[in-house]
Amino acid sequence: MLWQRSLVMIDDESESLWCHLLGQAMKGPLTGESLKTIPSVMTDWRTWRDEHPDTTAVAMSRLADRYRINWYRTPERFVIGLADEKTSRAWNFADLHKTNVINDVFDDVQVLVLFAPDTSTAIVYDRRLNDTTLTFEMRDGKLFDREFGSQWNLVTGAAVDGRLEGQRLNKLPAIVSFDIAWQKFHPFSTYWQAQ
């Protein structure tokens, strides 16, 4: 079921209808209630399995193939976004294809938006570590911070080499969405633009 071009979820207990982009019940006994948004990642199976070899998975319907084709052919139709009660911000996949690393700010939080074009993996991290705000860049296809020169794993947010080895960035609860759906639910959203 879709509402405003966005997936509608139904809970078994109350049969309330939920908007996945807002995490809110839109109809039914729980109308107005909100779910807690938790961080997630949308990536290909190989990348996920390499990082989490004991994972089990659910096979998706045939519609997943059509979604995947759209995903790769028309990246400009997709965004990854963050939203809270006050504001929202999105990063378009067409921009992310050109710039795989974006150091940005969302609602006074220093964020790192990462994109791996070979797997279409997009993730948003808080780039503050202890009392330091890190600035990231890609070098020869690998992610490094400029302040300490440590190398980082894009999918896990963990430093894998250098002075910060073993440290981990906090993943933020970003949502991958069709851009048109994001605009419907977050009409005042700001968008990152290349300088």
Average pLDDT score, the chain: 86
pLDDT per position as a tens digit, 28-75: 999 988 888 777 777 777 877 888 788 887 776 655 555 555 656 777
Helix residue ranges per DSSP H, the chain? 45-51, 63-73, 93-98, 179-185
Sign of CA dihedral 49, 141, 156, 186: negative
Q: Does the global pTM surpass 0.95?
A: no
Predicted pLDDT at 159: 97
Give the tokens for residue 108: 């006074």
Average pLDDT rounded to a whole number, residues 99-104: 94
Q: Are 19 and 31 in contact (CB under 8 A)?
A: no
Predicted pLDDT at 127: 97
Average pLDDT rounded to a whole number, residues 121-141: 94
Predicted pLDDT at 53: 87
Predicted pLDDT at 34: 82
